[in-house]
């Protein structure tokens, strides 16, 4: 008996120790690129009404597919009246946790759909898109155990015709076509901006290399086209902080010295909401921190998608710091399971508050013609370093407002609307003369009133 107890004690000690260690090659529950592919396909077969997948592009060197998985009720129909959310689990392949977290969110929501009202509500309300990895080439190196520190894709960046895993590759989260040219603070004319990476983004052999030109990489061309097509209202990018500098923080666009993004407060609210639900991995009673300090100017996904598509975006840095100060980015299975669980819960909570504060609508002309792809100009939201929101191809739009916001006005196609912010409600705006009417949308509707028609013709 004593022996058994001693044995159990040793096992638990080992488990404790494993909890705060990086394990490489990765522990057995991590996916390889192939097992991830297989799981996506099997999940879609298992839940054909809820899950579908597509390939949004191929990598240049190994010709590997980039998968986008859609999770929604009636998944094979495009439901414009449902807001879209995109999760990208991975840009940097030495950060494998995000792939696991995003696959877990997919599987758990799909599996819980018929069993839990909360899951059903979440899946019914949104079109959720999950891209477990945007970097299949890098993932194929790290997750197969070949090299733990591979960050970029496998582009032959020094053009020597040899595939050098440690030197080649572009940092995909520096290659987006917004702020690519600044790349670091030296070339930036915006004061007080701090960038940790200094010159590294210009060097072809560096792990932070930004690429020869903006959108030089297939992965980035694929994802920017995808964003244009989906026009997501919310995007979550999962990363892990290898250096521990950014561990357990949430970044969002942007604070460049005295310049804040137009929707800084919206994103600060969402980042704080999420952070409050994410306890740190190895410190009791502490939670993730939203990053309110200056942000660097680089070709980041989070800044790009907000600038181009008006998408509110959060960059979640996982990888907790243990008692020795090490950043744990390759945790063992049992610890990874805890991490997946808490991020699933926090993500679904975030979607709930996001939905409750969305104003959704459809805009039509009197002759029933759709007001498709029309810019929307919102009261007191200037257009600093970004494009306006747009209606989608079916005339729908979704706009997040802070909970305290009670009313707003906006202009669409030269017509001025003044409305209560009927959050979580859906309505149709008909123009010419414009008025809101009840529709046959799935939710009960609150009728809103048009206060006046504007003579505004210019918005800028």
Six token digits for residue 236: 């979550």
Between 95 and 266, whose beta carbon lies closer to Zn ion?
95
Nearest distance from C-beta of residue 138 to Zn ion, angstroms: 11
Nearest distance from C-beta of residue 92 to Zn ion, angstroms: 4
Nearest-angstrom CA–CA distance, 93 and 296: 21
Between 95 and 100, whose beta carbon lies closer to Zn ion?
95
Between 198 and 369, whose beta carbon lies closer to Zn ion?
198
> Among the candidate windows 69-77, 238-246, 385-393, 395-403, which touches Zn ion by CB under 5 A?
238-246
Residue 229, C-beta contacts closer than 8 angstroms, at least 6 positions apart: none
343: contact with Zn ion by CB under 5 A = no
Nearest distance from C-beta of residue 287 to Zn ion, angstroms: 21
Between 302 and 307, whose beta carbon lies closer to Zn ion?
302
> Among the candidate windows 3-11, 30-38, 239-247, 408-416, which touches Zn ion by CB under 5 A?
239-247
210: contact with Zn ion by CB under 5 A = no
> Among the candidate windows 192-200, 236-244, 294-302, 444-452, which touches Zn ion by CB under 5 A?
236-244
174: contact with Zn ion by CB under 5 A = no
Between 92 and 399, whose beta carbon lies closer to Zn ion?
92
Question: Taking Cα atoms as reference points, which of 346, 105, 179 lies closest to residue 248?
Answer: 346
Nearest-angstrom CA–CA distance, 44 and 29: 20
Burial 145-180 (b: 16+ CB within 10 A, else e): eeebebbbbbbbbeeeeeeebebbbbbbbbbbbbbb
> Among the candidate windows 85-93, 204-212, 334-342, 362-370, which touches Zn ion by CB under 5 A?
85-93
Nearest distance from C-beta of residue 241 to Zn ion, angstroms: 8
150: contact with Zn ion by CB under 5 A = no
Nearest distance from C-beta of residue 249 to Zn ion, angstroms: 12
Nearest-angstrom CA–CA distance, 58 and 169: 15
Mask for 87-106, x = binds Zn ion (CB under 5 A): -----x--x-----------
> Among the candidate windows 30-38, 84-92, 187-195, 222-230, which touches Zn ion by CB under 5 A?
84-92
Question: Taking Cα atoms as reference points, which of 55, 29, 4 lies closest to residue 336?
Answer: 29
- Among the listed residues 70, 108, 210, 239, the single contact to Zn ion using CB under 5 A: 239
Nearest distance from C-beta of residue 174 to Zn ion, angstroms: 10
Q: Count of residues binding Zn ion (CB under 5 A)?
A: 3
Between 95 and 392, whose beta carbon lies closer to Zn ion?
95
Asked if 193 contacts 257 with a C-beta cutoff of 8 angstroms, the reply is: yes
Give the distance from CA 285 to its chain's centroid: 26
Between 251 and 355, whose beta carbon lies closer to Zn ion?
251
Between 7 and 194, whose beta carbon lies closer to Zn ion?
194
| C-beta atoms surrounding 322 within 10 Å | 17
Bond into 350 cis (ω within 30)? no
Q: What is the dihedral of CA 224, 93, 335, 29, to 10 degrees?
A: 100
Between 50 and 134, whose beta carbon lies closer to Zn ion?
134
> Among the candidate windows 127-135, 195-203, 231-239, 331-339, which touches Zn ion by CB under 5 A?
231-239
Mask for 57-76, x = binds Zn ion (CB under 5 A): --------------------
Residue nearest to Zn ion (CB): 239
Nearest-angstrom CA–CA distance, 460 and 454: 15
Nearest distance from C-beta of residue 321 to Zn ion, angstroms: 16
Between 9 and 194, whose beta carbon lies closer to Zn ion?
194
Between 40 and 301, whose beta carbon lies closer to Zn ion?
301
Question: Taking Cα atoms as reference points, which of 24, 84, 123 lies closest to residue 348?
Answer: 123
What angle, rounded to 10 degrees, do the helices at 333-356 and 117-125 form? 60
Nearest-angstrom CA–CA distance, 373 and 389: 9
User: Taking the alpha carbons of 278, 280, 284, 289 in that order, is the dihedral positive or negative?
Assistant: negative
Nearest-angstrom CA–CA distance, 234 and 219: 20
Nearest-angstrom CA–CA distance, 414 and 63: 46
Nearest distance from C-beta of residue 43 to Zn ion, angstroms: 25
Asked if 432 contacts 365 with a C-beta cutoff of 8 angstroms, the reply is: yes
Nearest distance from C-beta of residue 282 to Zn ion, angstroms: 20
Residues in the chain: 460
| C-beta atoms surrounding 113 within 10 Å | 21
Residues that bind Zn ion (CB under 5 A): 92, 95, 239
């Amino acid at each position: 008996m004593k022996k058994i107890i001693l044995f159990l004690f040793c096992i638990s000690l080992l488990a404790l120790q494993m909890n705060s260690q990086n394990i490489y090659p990765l522990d057995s529950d991590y996916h390889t690129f192939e097992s991830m592919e297989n799981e996506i396909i099997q999940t879609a077969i298992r839940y054909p009404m809820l899950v579908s997948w597509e390939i949004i592009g191929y990598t240049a060197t190994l010709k590997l597919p980039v998968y986008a998985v859609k999770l929604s009720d009636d998944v094979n129909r495009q439901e414009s009246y449902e807001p879209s959310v995109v999760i990208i689990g991975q840009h940097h392949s030495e950060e494998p946790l995000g792939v696991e977290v995003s696959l877990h969110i997919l599987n758990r929501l799909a599996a819980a759909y018929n069993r839990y009202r909360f899951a059903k509500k979440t899946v019914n309300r949104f079109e959720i898109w999950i891209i477990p990895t945007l970097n299949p080439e890098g993932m194929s190196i790290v997750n197969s155990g070949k090299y733990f520190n591979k960050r970029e894709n496998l582009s032959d960046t020094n053009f020597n015709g040899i595939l050098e895993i440690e030197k080649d590759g572009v940092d995909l989260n520096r290659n987006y076509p917004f702020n690519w040219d600044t790349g670091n603070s030296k070339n930036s004319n915006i004061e007080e901006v701090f960038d940790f990476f200094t010159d590294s983004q210009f060097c072809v052999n560096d792990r932070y290399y930004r690429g020869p030109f903006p959108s030089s990489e297939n992965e980035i061309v694929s994802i920017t086209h995808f964003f244009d097509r989906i026009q997501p209202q919310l995007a979550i990018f999962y990363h892990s902080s290898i250096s521990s500098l950014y561990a357990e923080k949430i970044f969002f666009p942007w604070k460049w010295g005295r310049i804040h993004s137009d929707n800084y407060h919206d994103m600060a609210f969402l980042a704080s909401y999420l952070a409050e639900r994410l306890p740190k991995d190895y410190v009791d009673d502490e939670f993730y921190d939203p990053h309110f300090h200056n942000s660097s100017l680089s070709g980041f996904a989070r800044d790009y998608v907000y600038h181009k598509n008006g998408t509110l975006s959060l960059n979640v840095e996982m990888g907790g710091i243990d008692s020795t100060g090490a950043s744990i980015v390759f945790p063992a299975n049992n610890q990874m399971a805890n991490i997946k669980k808490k991020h699933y819960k926090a993500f679904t909570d975030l979607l709930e508050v996001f939905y409750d504060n969305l104003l959704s609508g459809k805009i039509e002309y009197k002759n029933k013609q759709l007001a498709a792809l029309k810019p929307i100009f919102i009261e007191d939201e200037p257009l600093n370093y970004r494009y306006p929101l747009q209606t989608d191809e079916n005339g729908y739009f979704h706009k997040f407002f802070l909970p305290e916001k009670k009313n707003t006005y906006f202009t669409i196609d030269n017509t001025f609307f003044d409305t209560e912010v009927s959050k979580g409600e859906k309505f149709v705006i008909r123009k010419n003369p414009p008025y809101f009417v009840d529709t046959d949308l799935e939710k009960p509707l609150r009728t809103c009133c048009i206060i006046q028609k504007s003579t505004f013709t210019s918005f800028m």
